Every structure is written in structure tokens, then in C-alpha cells.
Structure 1
Amino acid sequence: MNEEMKYEAAMAELQSIVRKMENDELDIDQMTEQLKRAQELIKLCKDKLTKTDAEIKKILTNS
């Protein structure tokens, strides 16, 4: 996975996956693949949020 992916792009891709699942647009093989991708995207988003939170706390502490 591209670690340089922007948070917004990851969220947009996640929303697309959810929409496809809700609209029954995926067969079972695609669903498995998309669920794995969704897990990767969720981890990326959580990691970015955690990193951003730590950076903000560091900045506020040094102010």
C-alpha cells in the first residue's frame, strides 16, 4: 500500500467500498478483496490520526 496516500483519499476509497457493498455491486471474491483493502485503509487512517494527534500535543506542549 502506498504509505504516502492522503487521509482524504483513503476515506474516499473506503466510502466507495462501503457504497459498493451496500448496493450489492460486489461478488464474493471481490467482497473479500475489498474487505482486505478496507482493513488496510482503516489502519492507514488510524495511524495518520494517531501521528497527527501526537504532533499536535507536542506543539501545544512546547508552546
Structure 2
Amino acid sequence: VLEELDCSAQVRRFYGDFLRRLEDQRDELSTAYGKDRIDAFRSGMTTMFELCREKIGYYLIVCQKP
């Protein structure tokens, strides 16, 4: 491992933006994938963001093959 960077705090702040964009595109996504599937996805993502907000980590890791 050459370098690692914890980006968790920077990524977590976009959870709300993700859900807003999903809502903005709901009609298009529902047409492509079905309303029930999009509703279930949104419900699952909302729950996951609420329950796991501080537990999910986002790391960038740079490695070099020996």
C-alpha cells in the first residue's frame, strides 16, 4: 500500500443530494425500471443512509504490485 485516504466525511455529505436527484429523476427511472422497483430502491437507500451514516467508510487506496 503506497497511500490511503479516508474520504468518508466528504462522501457522506452527498447522501441528501443523492436522494434529491433520485426524486428528480423518479418519472424517468420508473419508466425504465418500474415504479415498484424505484420505490423499493429509494426506501432501501433512505433506510441505509439513516442507519449506517456514520458506519460506512469510503477509502481510496493506492497499491503497487511487487
TM norm structure 1 = 0.44
Q: Which has the higher contact order (CA 8 A, sep 6+)?
A: 2
TM norm structure 2 = 0.43
* Larger helix percent: 1
Structure showing greater Rg: 2
